[in-house]
Amino acid sequence: MKFAVIGLGSIGQRHAANLLALGHEVAGYNRGDKRRELAAKRLGIPVYSRISDLFDWGGDAALVCTPQHMHLEHSLAAARRGLHLFIEKPLSDSLEGLSTLEREAEDRGLICHVGCNMRFHFGPSLVCEKLDTGALGRPLWAYLWGGMHLPDWHPNEDYRRMYSAKKDMGGGAVLDFIHEIDLALWLFSGPDRIAAMTSQSGWLEIETEDVVDALLGYAGGLQVSLHLDYLQKPFQRGIRVVGTSGWACWDLARAGVETFFYDRGEIERHPYPEGYDNNVMYVEQMKYFVGCIQENAPSFSDIGSGERALDLALKIKESSAKNIFI
């Protein structure tokens, strides 16, 4: 199959390299000269300075890997060329115009997938399995966290000029860490009410929020807490779920999952498989997307799923801005 990659930053290049390793043809677009040159040299693929030239190259699907405020524009352009869509998270920085994209894709019979690589990671997958099988009983509370030091994310760039630091480019910890929001929806579905607080520490000299805490409330008493930030060193991410029969905890720093079941009375440790690294989840996600296209089967992370995660992210921002429960 042939894949057109729109945006050749770190994630675009990762997806391109994985597709090549899986035996597919790849070409790319990037507006900046340096990244075009780097991608062409590193990947050995055709790289274009105009999206129209990339589309003329052909393709079965497009991967939209540009900053989030450009996702809708580039996704619509690709859909109107009849290309299946892989849209990196978040789906957009606004809900405006998404219905147009959804109609365009539906009318053309396109497979659409919004990036959700953490669903393919060993840790969250095992926590989800314990929930789905009922091993933890009824979930009572959960805590999901993610934190990184923004200047270390792309050390060769001035982070203050990146989209993460710019309000008009859809930056900020809420949207950058939408994976945690997506995981909360994947594990527990949508909440009934939301309370949140976002802030700027002032340490990073950026326009966007760098600390986020949100509380999601569910019918039946379940409470889910989210913590997201641009400040921590080293990178942190994890999930803890406590239920009526036991608990499960994935901690990125501990490279595995721990479970505890009340009737057994001991902690069980589930380390990552030997040789496991973070690229595995990206490869597995890409295999899944390719399979959806080949089988003409909808993705479980379609535009509707991406829209629900974005809607929750925007409600977290609104709750903080208005200082109210939503």
Q: What pLDDT is attached to residue 6? A: 98
Please state, in angstroms and rounded to a whole number, the distance separating the CA atoms of residues 196 and 114: 25
Q: Is 244 left (phi over 0), alpha (psi -120 to 50) or beta?
A: alpha
User: How much of the chain exceeds pLDDT 90, in percent?
Assistant: 95
Domains of the chain and any CATH numbers:
2-110 (3.40.50.720), 118-283+308-322 (3.30.360.10)
Q: In the structure encoding, which two tokens stand for residue 289, read together?
A: 């997307």
Say if residue 299's pLDDT is above 90. yes
pLDDT at 189: 96
Residue 96 pLDDT more than 90? Answer: yes
Averaged over 297-315, what is the pLDDT?
98
What lies within 8 Å, CB to CB, of 25 at 6+ separation is 1, 2, 3
Compute the CA torsion angle 154, 160, 164, 167 (nearest 10 deg): -170
Look at residue 157 and tell me whether its pLDDT is greater than 90.
no
Residue 49 sits at the vertex; the CA angle it makes with 43 and 54, to the nearest 5 degrees, is: 75
Contact 282, 20 (CB under 8 A): no
- Above 90 in pLDDT, residue 52? yes
- Between strands 84-87 and 47-48, the pairing is unpaired
Query: Is the pLDDT reported for residue 65 higher than 90?
Result: yes
Mean pLDDT (the chain, rounded): 96
Q: 170: pLDDT confidence band, cut at 50, 70 and 90?
A: confident
Report the pLDDT averaged over residues 220-240. 96
Residue 248, pLDDT score:
98
Nearest to 305 by CA among 318, 292, 317: 292
Q: For residue range 120-146, what is the model confidence (pLDDT) as tens digits? A: 999 999 999 999 999 999 999 999 999
213: closest CA among 227, 195, 193? 227
Report, as an integer, the average pLDDT of 238-251.
98
